[in-house]
Amino acid sequence: MGRNGIVFAGFLGSGKTSLILGIAKELAKRGVRTAIVVNEIGEIGVDGEFLKTTGAQTYEITEGCICCTLKKDLESTLSELASNYNPDAILVEPTGIAFPSVVAKVLGKYTSSTLIIGVVDAVRFAKLYREMREFVERQLREAKITAINKIDAIRSKAELETIAEITRQINPNSKILFVSAKTKEGFEEFVRELLAEEIKEEETVEDADLEINSITEARASWFSKELYLKFERPTSAFFVKKIVEEILNRIKGFGDPLHYKIVVSCRNGVLKAGITEKTGVPSFDSDISGWINECKMKVLFVDRSLPQEKIGSLFEDHIFELSNTFKFKVDVLAKKHDHAEVRT
């Protein structure tokens, strides 16, 4: 059996990372050697350590969208993976790209088959489709499977059927599945269909349109940072979670979130939290427990109303306030932009 490649397309905050996490765990149970390539906005990769909890080999590519500015870096990362790790499957999570088939074409050089999965955020679909219809349609037209995610947050079956009908009109040939990466509702069927799906290489588009991505389409700004926190005395994981909530809610109070996320990693595990809309509350995809002496924090804020400089100053001012309240020291880690394995 040849090496399979899967590209997960979808808007920021649609739940691609959580789906990949679940799929990688299922593949690991079946003895499938899996590698994950994550494309992040900004200078700091956020999701790599969260995804490494699957046991998969994880590589991060930062600063831009794979399909436009980092096509060559994607190739070098895939080449290194193929040579040094020889995975059975490669899962790629681009950052809101306009044309998933561009990534699929590059991935196809290192795999025997490729598949594009379109991930739909059921909670925000109506809003995103209304404001960025052309962009949403471009992503879904290329998907062999359309995964309508976050169904746990939708009470109305009629609303889900409406979303399904719209996606069906966009791409009549795509298989539509309902899933919740959070509660795992529909997940067993999703994984079963994924493994059974006949995977084939997709046709690509012309390179002229490669600079269109979810950030430019939404006219958004982003800010990312990697920090090291050292507490004066052992601190309960409850208060670390409180710090994360405080940061997310503070920035949200001034801005218009497109996607905020924070990942905290320490010996006790990995905590990931995020917000995807102004009226939302922080959601947690994983948790930590016990007492914590020190931890690494990675943050990414993508916002529609705040410029990058303002996001940065709000974050830095608030983390300073919190350091006095919760008694910890902050070191800003040096920027890294290589494509070596992400180490925890």
| Predicted pLDDT of residue 37 | 85
Predicted local distance difference test score (pLDDT) of residue 38: 80
Contact at 8 Å (CB) between 219 and 308? no
Distances (CA, A) of 191 to 24, 177, 198: 10, 10, 13
List, in sequence order, every residue forming a beta bridge with 119; answer none if it has no partner: 147
**Residue 149 confidence (pLDDT):** 95
Q: What is the pLDDT of residue 66?
A: 44
Task: State residue 341's pLDDT score.
Answer: 33
In this prediction, the residues of the chain whose per-residue pLDDT falls under 50 are 1, 42-46, 64-70, 198-211, 336-344
pLDDT in tens, 50-100: 555 556 666 666 554 444 444 557 788 888 888 888 888 889 888 766 578
Distance separating alpha carbons of residues 78 and 280, to the nearest angstrom: 36
Question: According to the model, what pLDDT value does residue 42 have?
Answer: 46
Q: Which residues contact 267 (CB under 8 A, 6 or more apart)?
A: none
Task: Give the single-character DSSP code of 199.
Answer: P
Q: What are phi and psi of 35, to 5 degrees?
A: -120, 145
Are 14 and 97 in contact, with CB atoms under 8 Å apart?
no
Domains annotated for the chain, with CATH where assigned, are 4-216 (3.40.50.300), 219-332 (3.30.70)
| Total-model pTM | 0.71
φ, ψ at 200 (rounded to 5°): -145, 155
Contacts of 271 (CB under 8 A, 6+ apart): 237, 240, 241, 244, 263, 264, 265, 284, 286, 287, 288
Q: Work out the number of other CB atoms within 10 angstroms of the CB of residue 31.
A: 7
